[in-house]
């Protein structure tokens, strides 16, 4: 306090001196603080209408000479700008943080909008609300934060990515089920930039929002906005770092060596199964990973020239040996504006270098099934192996006798020129060039079981790939207000171009393992005509051309209107009758709170009703489906020499067009009680027309029995609710809580049109793998995606043999049961019917505590581990302990029955997960030069409440075979993080 008083007196005296010197001028001094009374440094203080200005110092103080009666404008990034008329010489200001809901900026296609004016379903998550800790990628930051967006971490592999699904299944054979991910407007993926370098993530959920992205918009659009350079003066340095470790989320309870020996004593198992050792194979292949991540951000400059640079390093190991991702990302963002902001430039440079090695899930399978009495090595130090056994490899040897690494580089340069020649008119030209390179190598030593079995004498493969993407977007936007009528019109042109190249070589028969894949020419496999060698290369070029436009209108911010259209073509449809698609959208909003009759309703801060309709597309993922092609393929022995003959690629289909999703969305946004209670609700119905499907066509005369064509229709209907409440908001204590809920109903309406008729009213999909070798799912026309379809067991007899329910509903004994397709039944569905999440943040003084929880309900999982490892007939592999539990409380499963896929292994998957728990402590101005330090402890995937018996009920629920919890899956992990953030 004393220090402040001294400064105040000092300022005052200076002020008096100045005021004495310049009569017409008035010296104003003051102090700027935030709502928590912490001084704000670097706040812009400008005399309105002039260039006269200054910034606050380290203690938040400023002094400025102004004309008497002047108005001062206080602006600071992240805070609401305030204008205050000067009265007297002292002006202290409390800047409110810019979290007022309605003024929040929402990123929409090719621009931004005030949240209050948005008429579509758009969700925004800002960095302060991100999940904390060792996240895999940008997806995990917003897990459980957006209603209707299902983000799943289904693998603990450090090279894996989050799987995304928005508003149900949308395609059968389309390009992909992934949303379009834009990083600062440029297509990329969830790990293009480091999670720590992200400022906010916006999700365009409904068709009216996504339609401006045309053919790529069907699965929604996720817009990632990276941290930006500040517009103010001054500079800032931030460091964020953490270390973390992981453990397996859950272990399978397999028989141990002791169990084996007990079984031998009991006569259940052959004596020959005791190999004399005692090995925990899972432990043999696991490690305790130590991960660390560092992120350094520099910002600085002034309103005309400013920059941001970040450096990010992440070193993440997996729980399995030799699995890791090491990634270095550097990014710079430079802005320059000239001619009074009429012309401005932005240059962004991104460079990402990555080294990674994934994990082959088959090795995990081996660790699970390998005999626990088998030593790792024999007395001579040689790996214990049984080369004659089928699908049976020493798991540790698989890891130790192989070596692989991929390294990738991504370089992206983008520039934007913005010209504002007239008031309200903005012309923008964005150009971007990204290049991604991969080099990968893999080596199996001469002792690796695969090379031993195949007599390869060492095997190496080396590959490289390169993708280059060019993007040009030209947009013009004009904003105009006439009285209470506000218009914005946007028009644009986009050109995107992709070129991919790849090359690989495989070789074998090496004299030494010393050089691995690094000296591939050493192998003589190619010279000797081994069948393991291979060379290949390829190149693909595609482009995407689009014209788009959007029109926004509002009257007094009360009635809101938006219409957009995109006209687009992609080379995937080259040669078809009409490669161009048109994707319109329209939406309306009614801000009820802006109506005069609401003036006296004070507890309602905002109430907006929205309705929107939009069309988006999905493009085929193969090229030249519409034209006849001839490719070299099928070999032919021609006069003593082998030649490649020319084979047609497919039945060409010139009628091929875009899959089109037509979506209607009705929504309500509300904010009550001074924004203490807010949220939104959305009801949607999305119908996808022209689903691509491989239609059966008559052979003869067609070459092959299917032609890829558009004819299917699928529908998703659903409801999404997000409620945010601040139940407690006191000086020292805040509690902020968010609840989301969503449900989706899926239906495949038809798979036929006038040209293509499906031949049966269902198709089967999904696969159990060998040796069961059957499909897992069936999709019925008129039904939903994701139905498990197999034999239904209702009981076992006294000998532990299945009793089935046959097609007619009769109970049938194992020996009498016809294991036919006709006797298969619907066993459940792998897509959760409801998703919910509940996130809480508590703040007590400088301590904060947050818990995010999320769950999925009403769905089933096919537990592959149980299906394969509870069978008692298979003697060559280890089993789950639960194989000896009584089935249906009656008897242990009979040893006379083959492995099979039946309802006993289809379990309810409902779960409620306490996912991210974080405890943090923030110190403000702890020392000179340090503005803030924050420490935190965090866990991810902390605790699961579920009846599911497998490792983790959070399994992949996308695609056509959702809910398959497969054997070779890298188990999910629990992560513990200790982190610190410094702001200088």
Partner 1 sequence: MNTNKYINWLYIFIIVSVSSFIGCTKLYDNSYSEFLTDKFNPTEEDIPAIIGNAYGSWVPILNHWNGLWRAQELGADEIVIPARPNGWVDGGIFRRVHEHKWTIDEDIVYATWDRTYYGIATCNRIIYQIETGFVPISNENLYASSIAELRALRAAYYYILCDLYGNVPIVTDFDVEEGYLPQQNSRKEVYDFIVKELIESIPYLSGEHNQATYGRFNEWSARTLLAKVYLNAEVYSGTAQWEKCKEQCDLIINSGAGYSLEANQKNVFVTENQNSPEIIFGIAIDDQYTKGWNDFDIHMQTCQPSMQAKYNLKQTPWGGMCAIPQFIDTFDPDDSRLKDNFMFGQQYASTGEPLKVTMGNLIGNPLILVNEVPDISYSEEIHGYRFEKFEIALGSSNVLNNDYPLFRYADVLMMKAECMLRTGDANGAATIVTQIRERAFKSNPGKAIVTGVDLLKGSKYDYGLRTTSAQTHEGGSDIKYGRFLDELAWEFNQEGRRRQDMIRFGVYTKKSFFAHSPNGDYRSLYPIPRGRIETNFNLKQNTGY
HSE, side-chain direction, 13 A CA sphere, residue 101: 19
Instruction: Provide, rounded to whole angstroms, the least separation between the CB of residue 780 and partner 1.
Output: 16
86 has which bridge partners?
A: none
CB 826 within 8 A of CB 809: no
Neighbours of 109 (CB within 10 A): 26
Q: Are 235 and 286 in contact (CB under 8 A)?
A: no
State in angstroms the smallest separation of the CB of 882 from partner 1.
22
- What sign has the CA pseudo-torsion 358, 362, 366, 368? positive
How many whole angstroms separate alpha carbon 135 and alpha carbon 124? 19
Minimum distance from residue 385 beta carbon to partner 1 (Å): 12
178 in Cβ contact with 544 (< 8 Å): no
* Least distance CB 546 / partner 1 (angstroms): 10
User: Based on CB atoms, which residue is closest to partner 1, 421 or 727?
Assistant: 421
| Minimum separation from the CB atom of position 531 to partner 1 (A) | 4
Task: Return the number of the residue (258 or 389) whose C-beta is nearest partner 1.
Answer: 389
Name the minimum Å distance from CB 366 to partner 1: 14
Rounded to a whole number of angstroms, the minimum distance from the CB of residue 700 to partner 1 is 4
Collapse the DSSP code of 893 into the 3-class scheme (helix H, G, I; strand E, B; otherwise coil) and give the result. Answer: coil
- Secondary structure string (H, E, C) spanning 481-514: EECCEEEEEEEEEEEEEEEEEEEEEEEECCCCCC
Q: Which residues contact 508 (CB under 8 A, 6 or more apart)?
A: 451, 456, 457, 458, 459, 460, 523, 525, 530, 532, 533
* Cβ nearer to partner 1, comparing 597 with 637: 637
Nearer to partner 1, 501 or 934 (CB): 501
Task: Output 52 or 774, the one with its CB closest to partner 1.
Answer: 774
Smallest separation, CB 342 to partner 1 (Å): 6
Which single residue is written with the structure tokens 């992709």?
Answer: 498
Task: Report the run of H or E that residue 152 belongs to, with start and end.
Answer: strand 149-152
By DSSP bridging, strand 236-248 and strand 221-226 are unpaired
By beta-carbon proximity to partner 1, the closer residue of 61 and 571 is 571
Least separation in angstroms between residue 646's CB and partner 1 is: 5
Q: How far is the CB of 534 from partner 1 (least distance, A)?
A: 9
Integer Cα distance of 496 and 543 in angstroms: 5
Nearer to partner 1, 112 or 644 (CB): 644
What are the tokens at 748?
């495949």
User: What minimum distance in Å lies between the beta carbon of 61 and partner 1?
Assistant: 35
Task: Give the angle 107-108-111 at the CA atoms, nearest 5°.
Answer: 80
Nearer to partner 1, 723 or 899 (CB): 899
| 521 phi, psi to nearest 5 deg | -70, -15
Phi, psi of 454 (to 5 degrees): -90, 0
Considering the complex, state which of residue 275 and residue 826 has its C-beta at the smaller distance from partner 1.
Answer: 275
Cβ atoms of 677 and 723 within 8 Å: the answer is yes
- Which of 954, 785, 929 has its CA nearest to residue 853? 954
> Do residues 126 and 101 touch, judged by C-beta distance below 8 A?
no
Q: Tell me whether residue 103 or residue 541 sits nearer to partner 1 (CB atom).
A: 541
Judged by beta carbon, residue 324 or residue 814, the one nearer partner 1 is: 814
DSSP string, 321-360: TT-EEEEEEEEEEEEEEETTTTEEEEEEEEEEEEEEE---
Strands 964-965, 677-696: pairing is unpaired
Query: Which runs of consecutive H residues, i.e. helices, occur in 746-814?
Result: none
Query: Least separation, in Å, of the C-beta of 420 and partner 1?
Result: 9
Is the CB of residue 156 less than 8 Å from the CB of residue 249?
yes
* SS3 category, 7: helix
Q: Do you know the residue count of the chain? A: 984
- In whole angstroms, the minimum distance from the beta carbon of 928 to partner 1 comes to 45
**Residue-by-residue DSSP string for 78-140:** TB--EEEE--SSB--EEPPBS--GGG-EEEETTEEEEGGG--S-EEEEEGGGS--SS-SSHHH
Q: How far is the CB of 621 from partner 1 (least distance, A)?
A: 15
In the complex with partner 1, the residue whose CB is nearer, 407 or 774, is 774
Nearer to partner 1 (CB atom), residue 539 or residue 890: 539
Cβ proximity to partner 1: between 859 and 877 the closer is 877
* Cβ nearer to partner 1, comparing 387 with 809: 387
In the complex, the smallest distance separating the C-beta of residue 765 from partner 1, rounded to whole angstroms, is 15
Q: How far is the CB of 580 from partner 1 (least distance, A)?
A: 9
Nearer to partner 1, 434 or 571 (CB): 571
Burial state string for 412-442 with b = 16 or more CB within 10 A and e = fewer than 16: bebebebebeeeeebbbbbbbbbebbbebbb
Distance CA 195, CA 135 (A): 8
Q: What are phi and psi of 3, to 5 degrees?
A: -60, -45
Looking at the Cβ atoms of 220 and 712, the one nearer to partner 1 is 712
Based on the number of CB atoms within 10 Å of its own CB, is 176 exposed (0-12), middle (13-18) or buried (19 or more)? middle
- In the complex, least distance from residue 483 CB atom to partner 1, rounded to whole angstroms: 26
Between residues 227 and 420, which has the closer beta carbon with respect to partner 1? Answer: 420
For residue 339, the minimal CB distance to partner 1 (Å) is 7
The answer to whether the peptide bond before residue 84 is cis (omega within 30 degrees of 0) is no
């Amino acid at each position: 306090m004393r220090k402040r008083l001294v400064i105040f007196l000092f300022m005052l005296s200076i002020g008096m001196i100045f005021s004495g010197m310049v009569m017409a001028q008035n010296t104003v001094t003051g102090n700027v603080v935030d709502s928590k009374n912490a001084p704000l440094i670097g706040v812009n203080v400008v005399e309105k209408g002039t260039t006269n200005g200054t910034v606050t110092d380290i203690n938040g103080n400023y002094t400025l000479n102004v004309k008497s009666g002047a108005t001062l404008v206080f602006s600071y990034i992240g805070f609401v700008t305030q204008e205050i008329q000067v009265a007297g010489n002292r002006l202290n200001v409390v800047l409110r943080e810019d979290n007022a809901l309605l003024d929040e900026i929402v990123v929409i296609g090719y621009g931004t909008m005030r949240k209050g004016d948005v008429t579509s379903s758009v969700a925004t998550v800002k960095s302060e609300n991100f999940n904390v800790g060792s996240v895999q990628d940008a997806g995990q930051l917003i897990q459980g934060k957006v209603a209707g967006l299902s983000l799943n971490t289904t693998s603990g592999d450090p090279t894996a990515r989050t799987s995304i699904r928005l508003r149900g299944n949308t395609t059968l054979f389309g390009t992909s089920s992934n949303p379009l991910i834009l990083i600062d407007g440029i297509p990329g993926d969830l790990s293009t930039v480091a999670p720590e370098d992200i400022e906010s993530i916006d999700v365009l959920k409904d068709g009216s929002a996504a339609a401006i992205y045309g053919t790529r918009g069907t699965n929604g659009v996720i817009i990632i906005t990276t941290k930006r350079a500040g517009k103010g003066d001054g500079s800032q340095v931030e460091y964020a770092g953490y270390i973390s470790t992981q453990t397996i989320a859950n272990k399978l309870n397999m028989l141990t060596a002791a169990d084996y020996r007990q079984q031998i004593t009991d006569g259940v198992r052959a004596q020959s199964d005791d190999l004399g050792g005692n090995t925990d194979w899972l432990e043999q292949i696991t490690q305790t990973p130590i991960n660390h991540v560092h992120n350094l951000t520099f910002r600085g400059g002034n309103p005309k020239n400013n920059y941001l640079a970040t450096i990010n390093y992440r070193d993440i190991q997996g729980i399995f040996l030799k699995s890791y991702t090491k990634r270095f990302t550097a990014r710079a963002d430079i802005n320059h504006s000239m001619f009074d902001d009429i012309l401005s430039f932005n240059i962004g440079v991104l460079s990402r270098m990555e080294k990674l090695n994934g994990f082959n899930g088959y090795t995990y399978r081996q660790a699970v099934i390998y005999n626990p009495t088998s030593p790792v090595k024999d007395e001579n130090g040689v790996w214990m192996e049984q080369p004659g056994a089928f699908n049976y490899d020493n798991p540790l040897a698989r890891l130790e006798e192989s070596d692989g690494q991929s390294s990738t580089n991504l370089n992206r340069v983008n520039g934007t020129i913005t010209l504002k020649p007239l008031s309200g008119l903005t012309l923008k030209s964005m150009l971007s060039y990204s290049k991604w390179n991969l080099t990968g190598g893999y080596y199996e030593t001469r002792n690796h079981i695969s090379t031993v079995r195949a007599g390869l004498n060492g095997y190496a493969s080396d590959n490289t790939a390169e993708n280059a993407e060019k993007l040009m977007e030209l947009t013009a936007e004009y904003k105009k207000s006439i009285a209470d009528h506000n218009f914005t019109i946007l028009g644009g042109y986009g050109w995107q171009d992709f070129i991919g190249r790849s090359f690989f070589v495989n070789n074998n028969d090496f004299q030494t393992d010393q050089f691995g894949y690094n000296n591939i020419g050493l192998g003589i496999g190619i010279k000797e005509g081994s069948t393991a060698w291979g060379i290949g290369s390829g190149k693909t070029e595609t482009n995407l051309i689009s014209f788009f436009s959007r029109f926004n209108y509002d009257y007094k911010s009360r009635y809101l209107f938006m219409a957009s259209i995109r006209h687009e073509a992609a080379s995937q449809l080259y040669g078809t009758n009409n490669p161009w698609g048109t994707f319109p959208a329209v939406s309306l909003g009614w801000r009820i709170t802006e109506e005069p009759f609401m003036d006296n309703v004070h507890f309602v801060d905002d109430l907006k009703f929205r309705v929107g309709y939009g069309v988006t597309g999905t493009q085929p993922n193969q090229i030249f489906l519409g034209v006849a092609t001839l490719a070299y393929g099928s070999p032919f022995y021609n006069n003593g020499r082998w030649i490649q003959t020319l084979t047609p690629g497919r039945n060409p289909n010139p009628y091929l067009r875009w899959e089109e999703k037509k979506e209607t969305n009705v929504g309500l946004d509300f904010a009550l009680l001074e924004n203490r209670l807010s949220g939104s609700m959305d009801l949607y119905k999305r119908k996808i027309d022209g689903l691509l499907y491989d239609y059966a066509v008559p052979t003869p005369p067609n070459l092959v029995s299917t032609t890829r064509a558009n004819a299917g229709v699928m529908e998703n209907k659903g409801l999404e609710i997000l409620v945010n409440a601040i139940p407690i908001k006191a000086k020292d204590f805040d509690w902020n809580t968010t609840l989301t809920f969503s449900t989706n109903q899926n239906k495949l309406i038809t798979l036929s049109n006038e040209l293509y008729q499906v031949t049966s009213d269902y198709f089967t999909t999904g696969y159990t793998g060998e040796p069961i070798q059957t499909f897992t799912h069936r999709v019925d026309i008129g039904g939903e995606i994701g139905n498990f379809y197999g034999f239904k067991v209702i009981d076992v007899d006294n000998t532990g043999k299945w009793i089935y329910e046959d097609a007619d509903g009769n109970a049938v004994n194992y020996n009498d049961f016809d294991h036919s397709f006709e006797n298969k039944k619907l066993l459940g569905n792998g897509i959760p019917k409801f998703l919910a999440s509940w996130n809480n943040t508590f703040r007590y003084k400088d301590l904060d505590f947050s818990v995010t929880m999320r769950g999925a309900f009403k769905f089933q999982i096919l537990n592959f581990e149980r299906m394969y490892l509870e069978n008692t007939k298979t003697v060559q592999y280890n089993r789950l302990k639960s194989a000896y539990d009584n089935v249906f409380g009656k008897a242990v499963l009979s040893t006379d029955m083959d492995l099979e896929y039946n309802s006993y292994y289809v379990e309810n998957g409902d779960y409620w997960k306490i996912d991210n728990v974080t405890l943090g402590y923030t110190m403000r101005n702890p020392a000179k030069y340090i503005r803030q330090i924050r420490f935190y402890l965090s866990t991810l995937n902390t605790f699961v409440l579920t009846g599911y018996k497998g490792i983790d009920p959070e399994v992949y629920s996308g695609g056509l075979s959702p809910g398959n919890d497969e054997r070779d899956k890298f188990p999910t992990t629990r992560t513990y993080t200790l982190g610190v953030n410094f702001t200088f």
